[in-house]
Amino acid sequence: MSRRLLAVSVSAAAVVLHAGPAVTALPPVRRHLPALNGAGRPGTVALTLDDGPDPRSTPHFLRSLARLGIPATFFVLGGMAARSPGLLRRIHEEGHEIGVHGWTHRSHLRMSPGRVHGELARTAELILGACGAPPRWFRPPYGVLSAGSLVAAARLGLRPVLWSAWGRDWEAGATTATVLAHLRAGGIRGGATLLLHDSDCAAVPGSWGSALGALTSIVGDGERQGLRFARMSDHLRWGERRPGVPDAGPPPGTAAKVTSADRG
């Protein structure tokens, strides 16, 4: 972790310690910590999907993303991935990036620092086994970072990232229209990181359908602005910030596929 990133992590930890629970999920905090809210290149948008991989729903998202020709970043739960290792590999092989969400979906505020570290390490190891490269990104359940989360992420070489706009697709009564309205209110614009879920394992049963239904319109919004959808490492210029770290993206064949399908 660079000195700059470390400084961001330390200041974020200070905010968490002094401002109380769930603070990092609040929009004002995310706006003032640009490294956390996923503010990326002005010409790209990052679509992120949390809580999978889920054999009931994730394949629908993969088919839709392939049809639309865009890459996404999946923040996976180790406990889900362990039950569907083939699906985890498929996400990688189809050109998407995979980040760490946790092993369980418990809030880090309710776990000891040792338990948090163990969960993140175990999930990162699973991703390494499936992708052949370690994950780079970490997003905690509920977007809630504890001081223990930040220490564990730093030790594991994971960079915390939240989002700039969400669809609130996990809510009871969410529809494609409400998901789109929430995302547009937060901003489907250059530099944005969008949050949706490809599993309902921590939400209202069936809620992923509203997120899936919104994908085509989200991509349409981006295309009208001449934006390109990018994996998190491309969106946040990981290579430029960490020149010594080799690209741990998708296999060469799929990388070419995604590049040629990118819009804008």
Residues that bind Zn ion (CB under 5 A): 50-51, 141
Nearer to Zn ion, 99 or 222 (CB): 99
Nearer to Zn ion, 69 or 79 (CB): 79
d(CA 97, CA 94): 9
> Parallel, antiparallel, or unpaired for β 137-138 and 159-160?
parallel
| Residue at token pair 């570290």 | 117
Distance of CA 234 to the CA centre of its chain: 13
Could you tell me the smallest distance in angstroms from the CB atom of residue 202 to Zn ion? 5
Residue 24 identity (one-letter amino acid): T
Candidate list 96, 197, 198, 235, residue with the active-site label: 197
What residues pair up with 159 in beta bridges, in sequence order?
Answer: 137
Nearer to Zn ion, 141 or 250 (CB): 141
Nearer to Zn ion, 163 or 238 (CB): 163
Task: Tell me the angle at which helices 208-224 and 58-68 cross, rounded to the nearest 10 degrees.
Answer: 20
Could you tell me the smallest distance in angstroms from the CB atom of residue 259 to Zn ion? 29
Could you tell me the smallest distance in angstroms from the CB atom of residue 207 to Zn ion? 12
Could you tell me the smallest distance in angstroms from the CB atom of residue 105 to Zn ion? 6
50 is catalytic: yes
182 is catalytic: no
| Residue at token pair 């085509």 | 216
Measured at CB, which residue is nearest to Zn ion?
50
Count CB-CB contacts under 10 A for residue 243.
7
Active site positions, annotated: 50, 197
